[in-house]
Amino acid sequence: MLFDVSNWVLLVEPFGAGGGPDLIARALAGPLSEHWHRPVAVENHPGGGSTAGPVLVAKAPADGNTLLVNTCAHAYIAAIARDLPYDPLRDFAAVTPLTSQAYVVITGPSTAARTVSELVAAAGTRGEALKFGSTGVGTGTHLGTVELNVAAGIRAVHVPAGPDDAISDVVANVATGAIDYAMTPISAAAPHITAGAVSAIGVTTARRSSALPDVPALAEAGVAGYDFPFWYGVWAPSATPIEILDDRADGIASVIREPEMEHWLVDHGMDTLTMTRETFARFVVDETQRAARSSAALL
C-alpha cells in the first residue's frame, strides 16, 4: 500500500542520525504533527560537510512542507565556503530559531590529554601537529575549534568529515584515534563519554552545561574569555509565501514553549532561543558577517 505524502511536513536535517539537529527535529515532530493536524516526518540527509540537506530543501517546492533544521553552520558556511550549489542567504527564508547550547571538546586514545592544559602541552611536544576533526569547512565545529586553537596556542591540522560522514563518524574517529580531538554537540558525544571511549575536556559556553555538569567550561579550564555557543534554527525555500512562513514559525514557537518540550530541552542542555521571524532573519545575516570576520582573521 502506498502512502500519500503530499500533505506531510518534512523536517530535513543535514548531520545524520544521533546529531543535535536530528534529536531536536524528532522531539518536535510529534507535537508539530498534533499542532498542524498533519504528519510530520524527519529525514536525515548528511553529507557534503552539512551541505547535502540544504541542497534538497533549496530545490523543494516553496509550500512550507519541506523545512531545514540546521545549526549555525547554515550561517557560517555562507561566509566561508566557495562554489556551493546554493546560496545560504538568498535561497532560504529564515523561519524561526530553536535553541542555543554548548559544544563539548573531546579527546581520544591518540593523545594522553584529559584536560585542556594537557592538550596544549601535547600540541607543544609532539613532533607533528595534532589533528582535529569537524563536520565540514565552515561549520560551527570547525570555526569553534579554530578559535580555540588560536586562543590556546594549539598547533593542529584540520581533518573535515568525508563527503558522506555524519557527526557520529567524527566522534568515532576521535574514539579510534584517527584524529586527536574534536568539538561536537554534547548529544553526539555523551554515550561515548559515558562509556569512557573519549574524554570530555571542556564545554564551549562561558558557563558549564547542565548536560555535563562535571565538565568545566573552556574559559574556566584556562582558555580565558572563550565563549562559543552554537544554535539551531529552521529555514524554508526562499520563495515560500510570508503567510506560510508565519504559520510555520508560530507553530514551532508554540510547540517549543510547551512544558514537556521545555523539560526535554533542559535535560539536553539546551536553552530556548526566542526571536520573531524578522529578528531571526537579521540575526542569521549578523552571524554570517561575524563568521566572515573570524575566518578572515583566523583561517
Is the domain of 107 the same as that of 97?
no
Is the domain of 145 the same as that of 108?
yes
> Is 36 inside any structural domain?
yes
> Is 110 inside any structural domain?
yes
- Residue 8 above 90 pLDDT? yes
Whole-number Å distance between alpha carbons of 167 and 49: 10
Q: Cβ contacts of residue 95 below 8 Å, gap of 6+?
A: 67, 233, 234, 235, 236, 245, 248, 249, 252, 277, 280
CATH number at residue 198: 3.40.190.10
State how many domains the chain has.
2
What length is written for the chain? 299
Is the domain of 77 the same as that of 114?
no
> Is 215 inside any structural domain?
no
> Is 141 inside any structural domain?
yes
> Is 4 inside any structural domain?
no
Whole-number Å distance between alpha carbons of 240 and 223: 43
Is the domain of 58 the same as that of 124?
no
What is the residue-wise DSSP string for 242-270? HHHHHHHHHHHHHHHTSHHHHHHHHHTTE
Whole-number Å distance between alpha carbons of 272 and 99: 4
CATH number at residue 78: 3.40.190.150
Containing 174, the helix (H) or strand (E) segment is helix 167-176
What is the residue-wise DSSP string for 107-170? E-TTS---SHHHHHHHHHHSSS-EEEEESSTTSHHHHHHHHHHHHHT--EEEEEPPTT--HHHH
Positive or negative, the CA dihedral 58, 244, 285, 24 is negative
Last residue of a domain, one of 203, 222, 252: 203
pLDDT tens for each residue of 210-252: 889 999 999 999 999 999 988 999 999 999 999 999 999 999 9
- Residue 7 above 90 pLDDT? no
* For range 124-145, the mean pLDDT: 88
Positive or negative, the CA dihedral 169, 175, 180, 182 is positive
Containing 195, the helix (H) or strand (E) segment is helix 186-195
> Is 234 inside any structural domain?
yes
Is the domain of 25 the same as that of 92?
yes
211 compared with 1, residue with greater pLDDT = 211
> Is 72 inside any structural domain?
yes
> Is 216 inside any structural domain?
no
pLDDT band for 1, please (50, 70, 90 cuts): very low
Is the domain of 24 the same as that of 90?
yes
- Residue 2 above 50 pLDDT? no
For 18-80, where are the E strands, in sequence order?
40-44, 66-71
Is the domain of 261 the same as that of 119?
no
Which pLDDT value is given to residue 4? 55
Print the domain residue range for 182.
103-203
- Of the candidates 90, 98, 13, 74, the one whose C-alpha atom is nearest the C-alpha of residue 284 is 74
The HSE-up count of residue 155 (CA atoms within 13 Å, CB side) is 9
**How many other C-beta atoms are found inside a 10 Å radius of the C-beta of residue 46?**
27
Is the domain of 163 the same as that of 249?
no
Is the domain of 96 the same as that of 108?
no
Based on its alpha-carbon atoms, the radius of gyration of the chain, rounded to whole angstroms, reads: 19
Which pLDDT value is given to residue 299? 53
For 24-110, where are the E strands, in sequence order?
40-44, 66-71, 92-101, 103-107
